[in-house]
Amino acid sequence: PPPPPLPSLLPSPPPPEDDSGGATRGAAKAGKRQATRAEGSTRSMLMVYVNVGCLAFKTRTQGAAQKTTRGVFSEEPTANFRMVLEWAQSKNADGTRVYALMGLSSTKIRPARLTLVRLLLHKHGYRTRASQTHASGTGRQKAGVLTAWDPKQLKALPLTGGQLHRTIVQGRHMIMRFDEAGARSPQRGHLFDFGLRYMHVRGSHAGATRDEVNRAWERANHADLQVHSLHGRLITGGDWNAEPAEARDPAARAYSNDIALQDFEAGSGMVRLGKLEPTYVHEKGTSVIDHVYVSPAVLDAVVSFKVVDGVERGGKRHKALVIEYTVVAAPAPGEVERR
């Protein structure tokens, strides 16, 4: 069946409650919405983290397939990818995109298809940066992370070395830096740093795989903590494939991912958004393995946070993490940065 329309994925919440475990005052609203301004000085934007499974294509059942069309034109996006494209097409009343920033993680994409995914997002006005890693035998993607942003709302800033993104762990962790589009004063600093994670599958690892997993966590944690310590404006999230201690059964075994996440929480001073509600549905029940952590300095700018189901399809699926974030607004939507 076709995916539900975007507004149904972000229902209006019940009256907000005080939650000391995270930030929220209401929930992100979707659909065609006017960018919120308070006394002409602020506006709100939406950002989303989600593991979309496989941003894949399938053979068309009608149309081009009936005409024996071959190549990419003989395929169509799967339900997961159609939902991402629906998000990409959704606009605010002022012409900006509903989702100013998307952090997507995926797996099993054929290498040549990533280019097509990015081209389709570019067609809808987004700019993108991506990192992926492939299996040596098959060449298929093992893991990938992709950041897409609306250049009318956000401007990507160069990091050390002049690059717009820094790959920390190939296909699993990247960092970018953003300011509001139209901002011209370098003296005022930047809006926030953006980390996107897709860590290895949670489980019992041994030998070389265990070493690879441990190195990935060490590098990712070190990079996030370094950015947080230097600038104090980090938002980092995604599919961590690890559960906080408070979400685990005390009698259950803690995997290496869980311990690495626990070390990160203990040493970072960052705040986890939201309650400990399930973010992943699987055959044995549910887990809390998708997270967003923010530096205390940007916490006040987080208007709301919501866990949303319905993006990924099937019995095993991740939920989306949606953040509404308030920024100091330019008088009008900013200039589109040049690629």
**99 Cβ neighbours under 8 A, 6+ residues apart:** 46, 47, 48, 87, 88, 90, 150
User: pLDDT tens digit string along 222-237?
Assistant: 999 999 999 999 999 9
Q: Which helix (DSSP H) or strand (DSSP E) does residue 148 occupy?
A: strand 141-149
Bridge partners of 65, per DSSP, are none
- Cα radius of gyration (the chain): 20
∠ CA(30), CA(34), CA(40), 5° rounding? 135
Name the pTM for this structure: 0.81
Q: What is the pLDDT of residue 77?
A: 73
Q: What is the pLDDT of residue 69?
A: 39
Q: What is the pLDDT of residue 137?
A: 58
User: pLDDT tens digit string along 101-116?
Assistant: 999 998 877 777 778 8
- How many C-beta neighbours within 10 Å does residue 290 have? 25
Indicate left, alpha or beta for 26 from its phi (over 0: left) and psi (-120 to 50: alpha).
left
Q: How buried is residue 321: exposed, middle or buried, by Cβ count under 10 Å (0-12/13-18/19+)?
A: buried
Q: What is the pLDDT of residue 59?
A: 59
Tokens 């034109």 correspond to: 73
Q: How buried is residue 165: exposed, middle or buried, by Cβ count under 10 Å (0-12/13-18/19+)?
A: buried
Q: What is the rounded end-to-end Cα distance, in angstroms, of the chain?
A: 37
Tokens at 133, concatenated: 């890693």
Under a CB-based contact definition with an 8 Å cutoff, are residues 277 and 288 in contact? yes
212-219: long-range contacts (C-beta < 8 A, 24 or more apart)? Answer: 213/256, 213/257, 214/256, 214/260, 216/169, 216/172, 216/173, 217/256, 217/257, 217/260, 218/260, 219/168, 219/169, 219/173
User: pLDDT tens digit string along 152-186?
Assistant: 999 999 998 889 999 999 999 999 999 999 876 65
Q: What is the pLDDT of residue 42?
A: 80
What is the block-wise mean pLDDT of the chain (339 residues), using blocks of 10 residues?
A: 41 38 38 41 89 72 43 63 88 94 86 82 95 67 88 94 93 95 71 96 81 94 96 96 91 90 92 96 92 96 94 84 82 43
